[in-house]
Amino acid sequence: MLDGQMRTLIDPPLNALGRAIARVGLTADHITLLGLVLGLAAGLAIALQAFWVGLALVLASRLADGLDGAVARATHKTDRGGYLDIVCDYAFYAAVPLGFAIADPAANAVAACVLLFSFYINGGSFLGYAILAEKHGMSTDRRGSKSLYFTGGLAEGTETIAVFVVACIMPAWFPWLAYAFTALVMLTAIARIIMAWQTFKP
């Protein structure tokens, strides 16, 4: 829901930093893989109940996730890079709830599973829509210049990161945050499924 507004705020500084990184010789793929390592490390830190370390790693991972696109725009975008980016994003989105489940299975495991269930459905609806949008020649830049067709919703990247940040600051709140966010993610998925049903009808 907030990704479009956030792009207008963060893109100018990210693009400037991306151009500087590109001049050093690092590629967008390097930054994407760094973001993945940081994201998986965040999940591990959370699993070990080092929640403030996890918070720092979550934020660092998402900074890298923004920078890889900026570096790509400063050099050249590739389909391979776009593919790598989306795979690494989904790995990160799974690592954080998994970390909370391991940190306190009795309190968090069911909530983490429910949240991951919603992520799975939402991811399927997102990627399926993107595939068909490409087939139909559709394009959009409302979420910035992307390799895939991005559809919006109540639960996007900005909201997901906000939930992860609050959970790292207040770990005891994780179950309720997870259940509440699951509702938003499922509403997003259902809305996208309805939109696809109408857009791609025979």
Domain boundaries, the chain: 3-199
pLDDT reported for residue 101: 98
- Residues 39-84: tens digit of each pLDDT: 999 999 999 999 999 999 999 999 998 888 888 888 888 889 889 9
| Fold of domain 3-199 | Four Helix Bundle (Hemerythrin (Met), subunit A) (1.20.120)
User: Under a CB-based contact definition with an 8 Å cutoff, are residues 69 and 144 in contact?
Assistant: yes
Q: Rounded CA gap, 51 and 53, in Å?
A: 5
Ramachandran region, residue 77 (left: φ > 0; alpha: ψ -120 to 50; beta: rest): beta
Q: What is the mean pLDDT of residues 124-142?
A: 81
